[in-house]
Structure 1
Amino acid sequence: LQLFSDVCPRTCENFRALCAGGAKSLHDGRELTYKHSLFHRLVKNGWIQGGDIVTGKGDRGESIYGPTFEGNVAGCLEGILGMANKGRHSNSSQFYITFQPAPYLDKKYVAFGQLIEGTQVLQRLEAVPTYYERPAVACRINNCG
């Protein structure tokens, strides 16, 4: 992954820290990390979404800055890494990677990086069967950092 640190420094630092692990939750002191977290949503011809490091179900998340933080908004192409959120200024730990260009995401979500290697893995993830946009088999981040 290549991060757009010059455009989205806070978002990139949050993602980097969650990949590296070691940061502690301001809420309960537990380690904040993507390690062993699930991809909980897979939208065919759209994106794969993960990063709920709280429940793993896609309904929560937490950033290194607290529950949520504000981020910049940028465009969206194939292989773009973006912050998933529930509305303005609600970025946390959830992220997505697009399977193809997704102009409908422009100006709605923070695009803060791009996949530069591993497109075969992304294609295999897109082929996973789903049930109401939930992967039918566990798709997990086994290691990161």
Structure 2
Amino acid sequence: MPLPTTLTVVPFTPASTATSSSTVFTEKIIVTGDISHSSFHRAKEVAQAAAKLPNITTEFHALPQTAYTLRRHALQSSYSNLHASLFPHTLIELHSTTTTTHKLVNRTRKTEAKTTKKLLNVADLVTYAEGKNVAMPKATGDDVATKEHTRFLKSLGNPVVKIGFEAENADGNGEFEPLGRDVLIELFAETCPKTTRHFLQYVDGGQGGMSYLGSGVSRVVKGGWIECGEIRGPDGQLRTGNVLEDENFIHPHDPYTLHLIPSSSGPHTSTTPFMITTAAMPCFDKRYVAFGRVLEGLETLLAINGIECIHERPTRGIRIRDIEQWKEE
């Protein structure tokens, strides 16, 4: 058989070589904010309008003030420009993803995705939406924030207590003035029913006329906790309420949680004094009963924490000027 006179060389093509590629660009707008503030609801409206465009999705996190503040703090490791002063009530994350799919000669596909993240405030979000010719919704007022805030508090299914504090004037004239906004505290009635009922009887003044109203802040541990709730009679003598056994230790002592303070006698000796943590206190877990969390009023607690103390005792009087269960108006 004669040998061929010509030789055709076919170049080797690796199986992984792409024959074609396609690219898709998507964006996700994540709005996180204080549900009681109008800026969150404005950002939500703008994001929803932008999401009518193709390849844009949204995600919303409506939180009470305390949870928003803690969430913002947790995100600081991801964004170098996340300063509290720039995002006091609402922050928006814009995730832009480019996904490229390569079709290979062996009929398989290889997908590569690259995501960039950017932090926006409400004004930035509006500019972003206008740049895409989004039909901007009419701005809502504070009434929407109030309505959504009320709906949120009702949805908790637990009692919410509102506490107003006041502090003695710095000039020492003995007069008191309101200290910040009211502090709202959710009580964990479902998991700690006995402790919740015990606390509420001193909120409502139904235990022999004993009430937290007018009781003072007795101790401030900077970066730790605030103690109050010692009830005194007209003669100034300390009045002891019913003694409560420790109900359970289900809830951890995260920042801004509420628990009763046992006496120095040890476990199962709580009466009226209570404590609000201003930082995580894991050393209290399995020792004290946490039965509530602060929803709002962090600036008030920070103001109390900032008052000058000597040996953890405030140099100015701080007391509860108003306390009641929250009710829908």
Same fold (TM over 0.5): yes
Query: How many angstroms does 1:23 deviate by?
Result: 2.1
Q: Which amino acid aligns with 2:246?
A: G
Report how many aligned residue pairs link the two structures.
Answer: 133
Alignment-derived partner of residue 22 in structure 1: 206
- What pairs with 1:61-76 in structure 2 (closer than 5 Å)? 62-63=240-241, 66=242, 68-72=243-247, 73=249, 74-76=251-253
- Relative distance call for 1:43 and 1:82 in structure 2 (3 A) is same
Alignment-derived partner of residue 129 in structure 1: 308
Q: Distance in 1 between matches of 2:225 and 2:285?
A: 14
Q: Give structure 1 stretches of 5+ with no counterpart.
A: 25-30
Alignment-derived partner of residue 288 in structure 2: 109
**Cα pair 1:61 1:94 within 8 Å, conserved:** no
Choose the corresponding residue for 2:214, options 36, 40, 56: 36
Secondary structure of the structure 1 residue equivalent to 2:220: strand
Secondary structure of the structure 1 residue equivalent to 2:321: coil
Secondary structure of the structure 2 residue equivalent to 1:16: helix
Q: Give runs of ≥4 in structure 1 deviating > 6 Å.
A: none
Structure with larger RCO (C-alpha < 8 A, sep 6+)? 1
Q: Does 1:81 align with 2:81?
A: no
Q: Distance in 1 between matches of 2:239 and 2:306?
A: 26
Secondary structure of the structure 2 residue equivalent to 1:51: strand
**Cα pair 2:215 2:232 within 8 Å, conserved:** no
Secondary structure of the structure 1 residue equivalent to 2:213: coil
- Bigger Rg over Cα: 2
Q: Distance in 2 between matches of 1:60 and 1:47?
A: 22
Q: Distance in 2 between matches of 1:103 and 1:97?
A: 14
- What pairs with 1:40-55 in structure 2 (closer than 5 Å)? 40-54=218-232
Tell me the C-alpha RMSD between the 2 structures.
Answer: 1.6
- Relative distance call for 1:12 and 1:104 in structure 2 (3 A) is same
Q: Distance in 1 between matches of 2:238 and 2:285?
A: 23
Q: Does 1:5 align with 2:183?
A: no
Choose the corresponding residue for 1:118, options 289, 297, 300: 297
Q: Distance in 2 between matches of 1:14 and 1:62?
A: 13
Q: Which has the higher strand share?
A: 2
| Sequence identity percentage | 31
Alignment-derived partner of residue 142 in structure 1: 321
Q: Which amino acid aligns with 1:49?
A: E
Q: What is the TM-score of this pair, normalised by structure 1? A: 0.86
Secondary structure of the structure 1 residue equivalent to 2:296: coil
Query: How many angstroms does 1:60 deviate by?
Result: 5.3
Query: How many angstroms does 1:14 deviate by?
Result: 1.3
Q: Which has the higher helix share?
A: 2
What CA deviation, in whole Å up to 9, does each residue of 1:63-120 have, x standing for no partner?
Answer: 3xx2x11022342011100111121010100000011111111111110100001111
Alignment-derived partner of residue 28 in structure 1: none
Q: What is the TM-score of this pair, normalised by structure 2? A: 0.39
